[in-house]
Amino acid sequence: MIGTITAMVAVTAVAAPASAAVAPAAPYTALTVDGNPYSWWHQGSRVFDQAGGAAFTVTPGAGDQLDFRADQAGDAWTFRMSPPSGETWAVGTTYELTGVESAEGFAFIDVAHNGATCAETPGYLSVSEATRDAGTDRLTSFAAFYVISCGSSRHDLFGEIRWNSTVGYVAAGTDTMSHNFGDRTVGGPAASRTITVRSMGSDPVEYGTAEIHDTSAPYSITADTCSGTTRAAGETCTVTVSVQPTKLGGAWTSLRLPDNTVVGERLVQLGVNGVDPRTVTVSPASLAFGDQYIAETGGTQSVTVTGTGDTPITFGAATIGGTDAASFGVKADTCKGATLAKNQTCRVDVVAKAAGGGARSATLQLPNDSLTNPRTVPLTLNGVVGARGTYYPLTPVRIMDTRTGNGAPKAKLGPNGTVNLQVTGRGGVPSTGVGAVVLNVTVAEPTASSYLTVYPAGQAKPTASSLNFGKGWIRSNSVTVAVGAGGKVAITNYAGSTHAIVDVVGYYASDNTPIISGVGVGGQLQPVVPRRLFDSRSDWGSKLPAGNQVRLAVNYGPDANWRMRAVVVNITAVSPSASGFLTAWNGEWPEPTTSTVNYGAGTVTPNLAVVPVRHCTDCPWGVDLPTFGVYTHKDTHVIVDIVGFIDDGSLANGLRFDPKTPTRIVDSRIGQGLPTNPGPAVIGTVTAPGSVVADNTRALALNVTAVSPTASTYLKLWPNGITGIDQPDVSNLNAAAGQTVANAAVTLIGPTDRFNVYNHSGTTGVVADVVGTYWLYPGTASGSAGQGVSGDTSRSPYRLGDLPTPDKVRK
């Protein structure tokens, strides 16, 4: 039965109803069938009567049962009806219907159309005439109207039944049940359709006022001969509907004309599709970039826009919108300002630049002067962690020594003498994928006061110094330098002649080669509140003896401890008994044949170092804490201050390195960066220029020089404007009166890109060169801690008591 009903639903177009030229005469035998446009069983109005050529077969049965069949032009309807069990039809009574015969309290009805039927309930039948033969007690006339459903939530079928009846009937129909105006241009001329309404029963049809059901739809009644009129059998009237779309897309509603039929109204569905003659196709419809490295410019994809409309369309500049708009960019846009006629094209190139990890989505927006403004293209990518800017610590290896001819000619560097040192592919540094190296640079036997400048090979020598020294000194400094042409760095001596020794201690990745080669992601800098880990003067009251190392442990909590790969420390030799050196490494014997701090007898000599750590099995405090060692060649006091550590690349809010050609940002002697040379206990504030910092810069890698102080002094650096980070209790640089001394330093900068400089004693010139910046990596950034304005950006040991007593170990 379901299949039969479906076939019936397909019949949606109903022929214009036939009607008699004059009203039918009593007695009436007729059937009206009226289905609304929403009915899936029958749509349209039909009248079966003798004037229209209908044939009727009516069989009255016992208990007021009535079988009624109407045939006309190949269309047949059959009604089988009986009153509730034990009752007869009562005139003026309305009965609820059921599809079960002899049901108590319900009248029975079964309706078939061309042999197909369905469940006719809920519904009702209202009887207006019922006469019977006195001898047989069977019906001789019958009049009623019916309202039935067919398994739906609405009434699907309405109509009148007459057999030998004196009761007239009202029927009406329209020449269409629906009209689709099709595609119409928004803002274009109106389109109209005149609908004819015909009176089809014995009695006149009385019409109310025609109206559009949805007043917000773009339809109007522009002509109407039906509203408020009465039309006799066979008479017609018309209603003209006009439409003028105001927006794109489909708009459906109904024309409603009230009447006095059983249905109570004529309904005609109306539809239109608003279109724009300025149309284009965009191919492809979406761009999926797949995996993309976070914070790096990734792949590029293009969309092609083709004009398809009869009217040209003009485009503005393409933009990226949506929650993750920062993860994409417009690389090229030939659509900007272009006007496309039919079949003309333009192109927009979109580049991926993942701003964070995981799934990222945004929308390419193509503004234009059409009604579809902007046209949009969905964009997606998956941000994955890359290696660029991460640090890879190495066991220190000597890669240059002019005293022996290692890595350079066996000769001193003379005035303005330069050596181009190969650093990639040596000492554990890979041949490719290296952006910068961390070197410990030492001078020996200089014939004059001078300085070395270390910079990328192939570039002009910058106005900067990397290591300042006096005649006869042996001095070292940590130098972080970008790798230049051919994987080399240039080392230039200013004056006199000097030997130069270079040890490589680590490198920074320039791209994702370490991941591709299987090395994996390196470490990120975790700046900490500077603090003193060890001072032999106060912790022991005695010097570290020659040939011994002091083993030190740090504690930043279990999560950080087990992810720590190296510490960033400032190591100072104080009052050595003789000229010698300190070597910092992970503490596992044997110590490397390199130096970290080279000192002279009786001096105070600092150097910044990035020192690998280990969890040692022979330490008295066990393996829970990361440790490292500092070995001394001669008896000396040793001070170790921690300023940061290198993680394994996974801790929150880690910083990555961007190398730069050394750039001078402070020279107090000429008022650059600081207005004057700072005096005793003076704090100066330096603003890092926009040429060296970006929005995501959080720290600077510097080479800081004290120039000819009038008294022995030290300098301190710390960020300006970060809550919880005040002037530290440790120093970055120590200098004796009259000396010019440089030391590497790492300092956070505040939210306005500023840091503080403190001079302890006398008056000194201060010079600072930026060798690189540390930037917040979006792949591990989190919340306010990633903004560089909270004390949470720097870690602190839990408590002083958490640090074990330094362990003295003899070689």
Can you tell me the distance from the alpha carbon of 608 to that of 625, in angstroms, rounded to the nearest whole number?
22
Q: How high is the pLDDT of residue 783?
A: 59
In this predicted structure, the answer to whether residue 7 has a pLDDT above a threshold of 60 is no
Q: What is the pLDDT of residue 784?
A: 39
When pLDDT is averaged across residues 574-603 and rounded to a whole number, the result is 93
Using 50, 70 and 90 to split pLDDT, how confident is the model at 15? very low
3-state secondary structure 543-568: CECCCEEEEEECCCCHHHHCCCCEEE
User: Amino acid identity of 690?
Assistant: G
Task: Identify the band that residue 10 occupies on the pLDDT scale cut at 50, 70 and 90.
Answer: very low
Q: What is the rounded CA–CA span in Å between residue 604 and residue 639?
A: 10
> What digits encode the pLDDT tens for the residues 681-739?
999 999 999 999 999 999 999 999 999 999 999 999 999 999 888 999 999 999 999 99
Band of pLDDT at residue 186, cut at 50, 70 and 90 = very high
Phi and psi angles of residue 751, each rounded to the nearest 5 degrees, phi first: -65, -20
pLDDT in tens, 617-627: 888 887 889 99
Q: Name the residue among 140, 110, 138 with its Cα closest to residue 125.
A: 110
Does residue 183 contact residue 273 with C-beta atoms inside 8 Å? yes
How far are the Cα atoms of 205, 568, 698, 727, 786 from residue 777, in angstroms, in the given order? 80, 19, 10, 26, 9
332 pLDDT band, cuts 50/70/90, is very high
Q: Parallel, antiparallel, or unpaired: how do β-strands 178-185 and 265-275 relate?
A: parallel
Alpha carbons 644 and 262: distance in angstroms, whole number: 89
Angle at 465 between CA 571 and CA 523, to 5 degrees: 50
Quickly list DSSP for 269-285. EEEEEEE-S--EEEESS
Note the maximum CA span of the chain: 148
Residues 668-680 pLDDT 10s: 999 999 999 999 9
Q: Give residue for tokens 């290198």.
A: 646
Provide the CB-side half-sphere exposure for 246 (13 A, CA).
6
CB contact set of 132 (below 8 Å; sequence gap of 6+): 64, 88, 138, 139, 140
Residue with structure tokens 């120590």? Answer: 734
pLDDT tens digits for range 239-284: 999 999 999 999 999 999 999 999 999 999 999 999 999 999 999 9
Q: How far apart are CA 485 and CA 479, in angstroms?
A: 18
CA distance 421 to 419: 6
From CA 604, how far away is CA 84, in angstroms rounded? 117
Quote the CA–CA distance of 119 and 2 in Å, as a whole number: 11
Average pLDDT score, the chain? 91
Which of the 8 DSSP states describes residue 462?
P
Query: pLDDT tens digit string along 524-566?
Result: 999 998 899 999 999 999 999 999 999 999 998 888 999 999 9
**pLDDT single digits (tens) 412-437:** 999 999 999 999 999 999 999 999 99
User: DSSP E strands: which ranges in 483-589?
Assistant: 488-493, 499-509, 525-535, 548-553, 566-574, 580-585
Q: CB of 238 within 8 A of CB of 225?
A: yes
Per-residue model confidence (pLDDT) at position 620: 84
Half-sphere exposure (Cβ direction) of 219: Cα atoms closer than 13 Å: 31
Amino acid identity of residue 642, one-letter, is I
- How far apart, in whole angstroms, are the C-alpha atoms of residue 28 and residue 615? 108
Q: Six-digit token pair at 310?
A: 């009869």
User: Rounded distance, CA 233 to CA 200, Å?
Assistant: 5
Residue written as token pair 């069977």: 138
pLDDT above 80: residue 213: yes
Query: What is the per-residue pLDDT across 30-75, written as a single tens digit (0 to 9) for each?
Result: 999 998 777 766 778 999 998 889 999 999 999 999 999 999 999 9
Which candidate, 308, 315, 310, places its Cα nearest to that of 280? 308
Per mean pLDDT, which range of 5-9, 86-90, 117-121, 218-222 is the poorest?
Answer: 5-9
- 300: CB partners within 8 A, 6+ apart: 331, 349, 350, 351, 352
The candidate with the shortest Cα–Cα distance to 658, out of 485, 511, 440, is: 511
Percent of the chain past pLDDT 70, that is, above it, reads 94
Instruction: Tell me what percent of the residues of the chain surpass a pLDDT of 90.
Output: 82
Q: Hey, how many other C-beta atoms are within 10 angstroms of the C-beta on 356?
A: 17
Mean pLDDT of 475-497: 96
pLDDT number for residue 804: 75
pTM of the model: 0.73
Q: What is the CA radius of gyration of the chain?
A: 47
As a whole number, mean pLDDT of residues 578-593 equals 92
Q: What sign has the CA pseudo-torsion 528, 558, 640, 681? A: positive
The whole-number average pLDDT for the span 576-599 is: 92
Mean pLDDT over 205-232 rounds to 96
**Parallel, antiparallel, or unpaired: how do β-strands 328-333 and 345-352 relate?**
antiparallel
* pLDDT beyond 80 at 4: no
Ranking 2-6, 106-110, 117-121, 738-742 by mean pLDDT, the lowest is 2-6
Query: Residue 451: which residues within 8 A CB-CB, separation 6 or more?
Result: 465, 466, 467, 468, 469, 493, 494, 740, 742
Closest CA to 303 of 275, 333, 276, 274: 333
Angle 260-264-266 from CA coordinates, rounded to 5°: 105
Would you state the pLDDT for residue 460? 95
By the 8 A CB rule, do 118 and 137 touch?
A: no
Residue 64 φ/ψ, nearest 5 degrees:
65, 20
Output the pLDDT for position 119: 78
Which pLDDT score is estimated for 365?
98
Give the integer Cα–Cα distance in Å for 19 and 100.
Answer: 36
Using alpha carbons, list the distances in angstroms from residue 79 to 59, 68, 102.
11, 5, 16
Residue with tokens 């044949």: 593
Strand pairing partners for 500?
443
pLDDT mean over 640-667: 95
The pLDDT score that the predictor gives to residue 796 is: 53
